[in-house]
Amino acid sequence: MVLLCGGAGFIGSHMAKRLRDLGERHVILDSFEKGHRPAAGGSPVVEADLRDRESIRRALTTFPIEVVIHFAGSIQVGESVRQPAEYWENNFVGTLNLLEAMREAGLSKLVFSSTAAVYGEPEVVPIPEDHPKKPTSPYGETKFAVEMALSAYERAYGLRSIALRYFNAAGSDPDGVFGEDHDPETHLIPAAILSAMGKTAPMQIFGTDYPTLDGTCVRDYVHVMDLAEAHRLAVRALRDGAPSNQYNLGNGQGFSVREVLQMVQEVTGLVIPHSEGPRRDGDPAVLVASSEKIRAELGWSPQYPDLGSMVSHAWNWRRAHPDGYRS
């Protein structure tokens, strides 16, 4: 049985859907601080917080868990610069609690949600996994610290892990049932959609003086269902005895903030009210992945590599759920 920590969040809920579709036994562990109850989609749920080690222990002993996928955590780059303690607590201490509970329960397989933010400002683009790690935000630091802890746990206890370094997760379930719903919404595509729908104040472009083609940040967007598939492949590799590893997940193509807004405008047919503002703390100018390693080693092949599909799936969900999961 698979345990999904943070399984009621954006990426976790899409993974849970994938596991339900595959008929694979699983249970969601979520504190529901940021996760949404409808996002659990009928999967069994344990309400627990990773900051409470005892509650994780209980979950691991109540269910016959064999592999853990850990999505839970705080995820905003800019916020992490302003509130570093929350990030160290949720992302690092919370994960350490999970690792300790896994060790006590004799569990040895973990898939971990890492991030492109571990690299910082790239020296080479597209970024390979062995690129130097110089995170520019506490968010990236906490995720990289967990990756280091994972190496130590493998050496000391034989706990094998696959860290998946997502670039920019986007899109939503193509069936339109699950989607992206953060409060407040800070991610570019949903923020642009909400701004276009008049659900929020006009959005801002954070920084127009970056050394990029049009002065705005460039990111590599990857569809959430393609991320879910990568987790399935990672679980399979661990079950087959693969040693610990780290993989990037992106499409190898960068889009500037202005290009993304243009795409949102094309897909929705709406104008996006926006202004231009200063840079957001912690944002590197360009993040584009080389995902050759996971393609070659685990056979990952994205089904929705084009930005248009990501934006239209996100738009379909939001149009049907104008108030997110509260709709």
- Angstrom distance (rounded) from CA 77 to CA 147: 18
Q: E-assigned strands of the chain?
A: 2-5, 26-30, 45-47, 67-70, 109-115, 160-166, 168-170, 203-206, 218-219, 221-223, 245-249, 255-256, 274-277, 286-287
Q: Which residues contact 153 (CB under 8 A, 6 or more apart)?
A: 99, 103, 159, 161
Smallest distance, ligand UFG to C-beta of residue 194, A:
9
Residue 292 CB, nearest distance to ligand UFG (Å)? 19
If the CB atoms of residues 219 and 231 are measured against ligand UFG, the closer one turns out to be 219
Catalytic residue among 139, 153, 166, 221: 139
CB neighbours of residue 153 within 10 Å: 21
Measured from the CB atom, the residue of 57 and 83 that comes closer to ligand UFG is: 83
Nearer to ligand UFG, 107 or 193 (CB): 193
Is 248 in contact with 116 (CB distance < 8 Å)? yes
| Chain residues that interact with ligand UFG, rule: CB under 6 A | 75, 77, 115-117, 168, 186-188, 191, 203-206, 217, 219, 257, 280, 283, 287
CB of 7 to ligand UFG, least distance (A): 17
Of 101 and 111, the one with the shorter C-beta distance to ligand UFG is: 111
- Provide the 3-class DSSP secondary structure of residue 218: strand
Least distance in angstroms from the C-beta of 151 to ligand UFG: 20
Q: Is the Cβ of residue 80 or residue 108 nearer to ligand UFG in the bound state?
A: 80
- Kindly calculate the radius of gyration of the chain based on its CA atoms and give it in whole angstroms: 19
**Active-site residue, 221 included:** no
Query: Distance between CA 280 and CA 217 in Å, rounded?
Result: 10
Least distance CB 187 / ligand UFG (angstroms):
4
Q: What does the DSSP 8-state code read for residue 183?
A: S
Instruction: Please check whether residue 256 is in contact with residue 202, taking contact to mean a CB–CB distance below 8 angstroms.
Output: no
Residue nearest to ligand UFG (CB): 217
Which residues are designated catalytic? 139
